[in-house]
Structure 1
Amino acid sequence: MYVAIAIALLVVGSVLFHVLSPWWQTPLASNWGSIDTALDVTLLICAAAFIILNLFLAYMLMKYRHRPGLKAHYEPENTKLEKRLTFWTGIGIAGMLAPGLIAWNQYVTVPKDAAVIEATGQQWQWAFRYPGADGVLGSASIGHVSDDNPFGLNPRDPYARDDVLVETNELHLPINRPVKVVLRSKDVLHDFYVPQFRAKMDLVPGIVTYFWMTPTVGGTYEILCAELCGVGHYQMRGTVVVDQQPAYDAWLAEQMTYGQILASAEQARVQLASRDTPSTETLASARMAR
């Protein structure tokens, strides 16, 4: 009797908690409404199963509770009941899988006109690379990573020279334009996640992964690492700014390309070498002093 009442109160409390709770999804800011739909369908099916089964259990406990003069009937098998349970369970599972499969098919089918950027994760920061005027990202490898080449770009690849490099944890994207985000990790597992975009994907060392989405709402959003990646995991945060196309183009034009960085590094080495090399006048003065 008391157990049945407790189960019924648990159902009512759970439903009220979900209906009245302030902790719901963040506002959608991308094209992935199908992911929200898949999650909503799963929630509704699981909620219906939870409510029906638990209220049925409470009803059975109440109706068939122990009372003097009543004897329980033992029935080891009930083929009719098992068929019904199997049928409705199959309907529920199919209902949960179908929206997810539809969303996944869209998720892995990148539009042909999608722009391409690269996000690189390492403990505990983000870096980003954009294709230059040629529209192609140059090749990169962990074997090329050094202090002078943190992105690991192939210095012999002509497509890499005009790649735009951003190491400030700030990613800019144009609004209403599909973007394929290529993901690489320098060290351990990370995960690129912006809650408002819904889309996310792991960064796996030695493997290039990707996802795509279309930002639909301008503004500034927080990038999170959704994979436990070490003691500094909590501070691996970044910012994504969704701009109008003119503002995005102006920002991109202000960033340094790989070729410019190489030229600046070479110029700095030449200047350093010239300071370390004694001038002709200095050598002459040293000979006269001897």
Structure 2
Amino acid sequence: MPVAVAIAMLVIGSVAFHLFSPWWRTPIASNWGSIDSALDVTLWICAAAFVGLNLFLAWALVKYRHRPEYRGLGYKAHYEPENPSLEKRLTLWTAIGIAGMLAPGLAAWGKYVSVPKDATVIEAVGQQWQWSFRYPGPDGVLGAAGVKFITPDNGLGLDPLDPYGRDDLVVEGGDLHLAVGKPVKIVLRSKDVLHDFYVPEFRAKMDMVPGIVTYFWLTPIRTGTFDILCAELCGTGHHAMRGKVVVDTPRAFAAWQAQQTSFNQILAEAPPAAMSILILKANACSTPTSWSIR
């Protein structure tokens, strides 16, 4: 009996905690309401299973508890090694529950990886323990990049011989700025270990795998400043790997973008010796880089 009471109290406490907890989702700031819907469906299905199964367990402990004989009435357990009917019902309801949780997520994922044709491409680069970003210049195209091109003067590893990359805007260790209402494809790469780009208000996240370019897209729906978190344990400084994403009005975004430094300016300001090393590396690279965005 005490165990049954403890299980019932656990159910009541868990439900009360979720209903009255001050820790809940942050207000959404992107177009991914479908991800919230998928989370809600999963929560309600799991909650129904949790409450139902635990209350059934408490009821079974009370109903079938050990009791001594009373006035000739015995309480003998019934041994039933198989019950095909019960097993079929359990399999059916389990399948329905799993399908109910998977379907909204699959629908959201299909949209998550289907980038609109008018989306602007922006690159986010993770390294221990900071974020850097790259924007296309007037040509609207990000240039190629590769690990062989990384030098102290070329931290993101842009190919100096690629004409598409000369007008790219480089923001190392700064904030990510986006224009409200404009779809953007964020391509992701890592310079060292596994990272994960995550903005809770956007409901969007994706792993950054060394040597592989990953991506997702979103449309910011309100202006503001939000935290960028690394959602993958990436070393001793993981807790401090934070950044800011600033969602501006289109006019403010254009004004900010006009103040940024292009890769062409970085090359022009680099010492001649460093520039020579960079060009030599570029000429020595005879195979296409896996970091090419195009």
Output the TM-score relative to the length of structure 2. Answer: 0.89
Structure 1 Cα separation of the partners of residues 177 and 158 of structure 2 = 21
Unaligned residue ranges in structure 2 (runs of 5+): 69-73, 276-294
Structure 1 Cα separation of the partners of residues 274 and 263 of structure 2 = 17
What is aligned with 2:92?
A: 87
Per-residue CA deviation, residues 213-256 of structure 1 (Å, 9 max, x unaligned), is 11111100011111111111111111100000000000000101
What is aligned with 2:200?
A: 195
Amino acid at match of 2:156: F
What is aligned with 1:6?
A: 6
SS in 2 for 1:48: helix
What is aligned with 1:213?
A: 218
What is aligned with 2:16?
A: 16
SS in 1 for 2:226: strand
Structure 1 Cα separation of the partners of residues 145 and 250 of structure 2 = 28
Matches within 5 A, 1:68-83: 68=68, 69-83=74-88
What is aligned with 2:181?
A: 176
Amino acid at match of 1:16: A
2:113 to 94, 108, 111: 108
Structure 2 Cα separation of the partners of residues 231 and 130 of structure 1 = 29
- Asked if 2 retains the 8 angstrom alpha-carbon contact of 1:169 and 1:237, the reply is no
**2:260 paired with 1:260:** no
SS in 2 for 1:13: helix
What is aligned with 1:279?
A: none
Structure 1 Cα separation of the partners of residues 236 and 4 of structure 2 = 46
**2:49 paired with 1:49:** yes
- Asked if 2 retains the 8 angstrom alpha-carbon contact of 1:145 and 1:151, the reply is yes
Amino acid at match of 2:75: L
What is aligned with 1:288?
A: none
Structure 1 Cα separation of the partners of residues 172 and 156 of structure 2 = 9
Structure 2 Cα separation of the partners of residues 50 and 126 of structure 1 = 40
Structure 2 Cα separation of the partners of residues 176 and 168 of structure 1 = 25
Per-residue CA deviation, residues 124-145 of structure 1 (Å, 9 max, x unaligned), is 1111000000000000001000
SS in 2 for 1:100: helix
Structure 2 Cα separation of the partners of residues 267 and 198 of structure 1 = 45
Amino acid at match of 2:50: F
2:131 to 126, 130, 151: 126
Structure 2 Cα separation of the partners of residues 208 and 268 of structure 1 = 31
SS in 1 for 2:261: coil
Matches within 5 A, 1:271-286: none
What is aligned with 2:289?
A: none
Summarize the Cα distance change of 1:67–1:142 in structure 2 as closer, same or farther, 3 Å threshold.
same
Structure 2 Cα separation of the partners of residues 186 and 5 of structure 1 = 54
1:149 to 131, 148, 154: 154
- Asked if 1 retains the 8 angstrom alpha-carbon contact of 2:153 and 2:274, the reply is no
- Asked if 2 retains the 8 angstrom alpha-carbon contact of 1:175 and 1:242, the reply is yes
Structure 2 Cα separation of the partners of residues 152 and 219 of structure 1 = 30
| Percent of residue pairs bearing the same amino acid type | 70
SS in 2 for 1:104: helix
Per-residue CA deviation, residues 82-118 of structure 1 (Å, 9 max, x unaligned), is 1110110010000000000001100110111100000
Summarize the Cα distance change of 1:171–1:232 in structure 2 as closer, same or farther, 3 Å threshold.
same
Structure 2 Cα separation of the partners of residues 207 and 177 of structure 1 = 26
What is aligned with 1:243?
A: 248
What is aligned with 2:60?
A: 60
Q: C-alpha displacement at 1:269, in angstroms?
A: 8.8
What is aligned with 1:186?
A: 191
RMSD, matched Cα: 1.4
Q: C-alpha displacement at 1:64, in angstroms?
A: 1.4
What is aligned with 2:35?
A: 35
SS in 2 for 1:55: helix
